[in-house]
Amino acid sequence: MGRQRRSNYALRPMAREEFVKMMTADLPEAPAYFSKDAELNRGGARALAELPRPAALTPEEVNKLAGHGVTILDVRPSTEFGAGHVPASLNIGLGGQFASWAAQLIKFDAPIVIVAEDESKVGEAVTRLARVGIENVKGYLAGGMDGWGRAGLSVNAIAQISVDDLSELLSSGNDLQVIDVRQPGEYSNGHVPSAVNAPLARVGERAPEFDPNRRTAVICAGGFRSSAATSVLERWGFKNLLNVLGGTSAWITAGYPVEG
């Protein structure tokens, strides 16, 4: 039998604090609903069937509520939200990690009015919100954005651009700021050149660091978080926002360069 080769390297003992820091470095913060759910579980959460049915609100009623402590929550996909939405509304699409992000971006005590494609989507949103302890849905926009438009009320829009469009804007020397709203670990693994990292959960707090008057492209991994971020930034007064469809995944697939 041959002699067993002895390694020239010895495993270095790792302190508990160092190990914990290494394992949790890129994890998102614990959502605020964790502690809220713990309270609900101790007291016994209300059955979903017992939740009050949200009221159908006219566009005029929703318009009066907007900006008065009520969160207008638009649960439609990013492209529909971008095409036209209630001013100052928050976009968290049902197609992604809806409840988790809603729990991080909406205050628990804030009354909510939902904007959706139809009543079935309203019901889905109410149920999924309740599962993370959010039970403050007071109503929904009757007739959706079609009804809002028929009422002649103001509509905001956010342009949806492709990664090809983004590349062209960057190469043409446009005065463009790019905000990457992924987690720091995702960002460091590869991002669009010149992009600045501001994770979605903190993009509102970070908004004063950016110029709201500059054209601003927002990007994430696929377009879900970036759409939510554009709606947050719009509420902070950003006027010229672009949501990058397909996100960094599409950018890399298209063969465009990244920084790490």
CB under 8 A, 24+ apart: contacts of 183-187: 183/26, 183/27, 183/28, 184/26, 185/25, 185/26, 186/26, 186/221, 186/248
Confidence of residue 231 (pLDDT cuts 50, 70, 90): very high
Where would I find the H helices in the chain? 16-24, 33-43, 59-65, 78-83, 98-105, 119-130, 144-150, 163-171, 184-188, 203-206, 224-235, 247-253
User: 123: helix, coil or strand?
Assistant: helix
Please give the distance of CA 133 from its chain centroid, rounded to a whole number: 18
113: which residues sit within 8 A by CB, 6+ positions away? 57, 62, 65, 66, 70, 71, 72, 73, 137, 138, 139, 140, 141
pLDDT of 132-191, one tens digit each?
Answer: 999 999 999 999 999 999 999 999 999 999 999 999 999 998 889 999 999 999 999 999
* All structural domains of the chain: 33-150 (3.40.250.10), 159-253 (3.40.250.10)
Which structure tokens are listed for 111?
Answer: 């009354």
Query: Which of 11-15, 28-32, 105-109 holds the top average pLDDT?
Result: 105-109
